[in-house]
Structures are given as C-alpha cells and as structure tokens.
Amino acid sequence: MSHDDFKFEPVRGLPEALPEGEHILWQGSPSVLRLARDAMKLYWVIGYFVLLTVWRVGVSSTFVSMDLALAHGVPFVVIGTLCCLLILGLATMQARSAVYTLTNKRVAMRIGAALTMTLNLPYTQIGNAALDLKKTGHGTLAFELIGDTRFSHIMSWPHVRPWYVSKTQPAFRSIPDAQNVAQIFAEAAEARVSQPQVHRMESHAVAAE
C-alpha cells in the first residue's frame, strides 16, 4: 500500500489552497545527483578519498609488496564509498521532500526532510534573483530578500545560496531547465510588482484634508 507523507497538503507543495486570483506557473524539485554534487560536494569527497587511497598505497609500496600495498588502500575505499552513499542518501531525501513553486504572486518552497516547513516569498519582498547556470541546463536560482525578512541558513540548508550566511538567500537548488524557470520568475515578478497597490485610507486622515 502506497503512503504519501504529504497527503494532507490541499495543493502539492503548499500548506493551503491557493486564494482566488492566484495560480501556479511552475513546480519542480532538485535533481538528486546535481544536489549531491553542487550542495554536498560529492565530487570533492570522491577526490579526497581517491587521493588518500593513492597516497596510502604509494607509501606502503615503498616497504611491502604491491599486492599488500593495494590491500592497505582498501579501508580508504570502503570508508569513501560509505561516505558517498551517505551523501547520496541525504541528497535523495532532501530532493524528494522539496517542492519549489512559482505562482503569479509569490515564490513558495516546501523544504526539509525531517522537519518540513514552507517558505512563502511574495514578489514584493524579493529585490533581485541570481541564476547559477550549469552546462547541463541545471542551475540554482537564488532570491535576494529586501526589508526585514530573515530565514535561518541552517534550517533552510541546502535550499540556500552558498556562502550567504548573514543574510540568507533562499534558492531553488539544482533544478533542471533553470534558464526557463528564471524567465518564468522574471516575467511573473515584473508583472506582480508593476501592479498598482491600493491602500485604504484611515477615516481621520480623510477628515484632516
């Protein structure tokens, strides 16, 4: 029997139904392998253990036979493999639990493998966006917030822009077709921000005039 951990969501990736006048423009999730590579530095970990293994075999070969020297490198291979599997498992959980959403009014991010939370970012609170596009078409779209809006870097990781800790920038990490997603965001944000905002005047302000 199948089980959906997010069955309670009235709309996938959102904690509540969309209000009248709001509709979804795009939804997606991170690529598991790209998230493991870009956010969790999988290739760096692989390279580190490869270097350790080569160094250990090289040192051992100076005083024992090559067969025995190769055996000395096996523990490093095993530990490295376990570390890589751990990273891939973490990336899989983070990617499968994350849903990124663009509507005509906001950016929404349902993130968190163990502790799930949803970030709602109205376009009026986003000052700029930065796209880190890779040759494969995958990329990270980060949002620079304006005003007093703040998010915890640790709680939001890995769905944040790297190295921006003091003022966290939430991000769509390692998404496919990132260029198209950035274009959808730019057009929706421009249309939303350019709309005139009507504020109700207080009655005493009207009387004063």
Q: Which amino acid is at 192?
A: R
The better pLDDT of the pair 66, 113 is held by 66
Q: Which CATH number is correct for 24-28+99-193, 2.30.29.30, 3.40.50.2300, 2.40.128.110, 3.40.718.10?
A: 2.30.29.30
Could you read off the pLDDT of 171-187 as tens digits, one per residue? 999 999 999 999 999 99
Sign of torsion over alpha carbons 147, 153, 159, 164: positive
Q: What is the mean pLDDT of the chain?
A: 87
Does residue 198 have a pLDDT over 60?
Answer: no
The DSSP secondary structure of the chain, one letter per residue, reads ----TTTT-SBTTBSSPPPTT--EEEEE---HHHHHHHTS-HHHHHHHHHHHHHHHHHHHTTTS-HHHHHHHHHHHHHHHHHHHHHHHHHHHHHHHH-EEEEESSEEEEEE-SSS-EEEEEEGGGEEEEEEEE-TTS-EEEEEEE-TT----HHHHTTSB-TT-TTTT-BEEEEETTHHHHHHHHHHHHHHHHTSPPP-PPPHHHHHH-
Could you read off the pLDDT of 72-117 as tens digits, one per residue? 999 999 999 999 999 999 999 999 999 999 999 999 999 987 788 8
Q: Mean pLDDT throughout 2-18?
A: 69
Question: Around Cβ 203, how many Cβ atoms within 10 Å?
Answer: 8
Task: Tell me the domain boundaries of the chain.
Answer: 24-28+99-193, 35-94
Q: Mean pLDDT throughout 196-204?
A: 53
13 conformational bin, left if phi > 0, alpha if psi -120 to 50, beta if neither: left
Beta bridge partners, 102, equal: 26, 107
Check if the beta carbon of residue 101 is closer than 8 Å to that of residue 84: no
pLDDT band at 119; cut points 50, 70, 90? very high
Name the residue among 91, 121, 99 with its Cα closest to residue 28: 99
207 conformational bin, left if phi > 0, alpha if psi -120 to 50, beta if neither: alpha
pLDDT of 64: 87
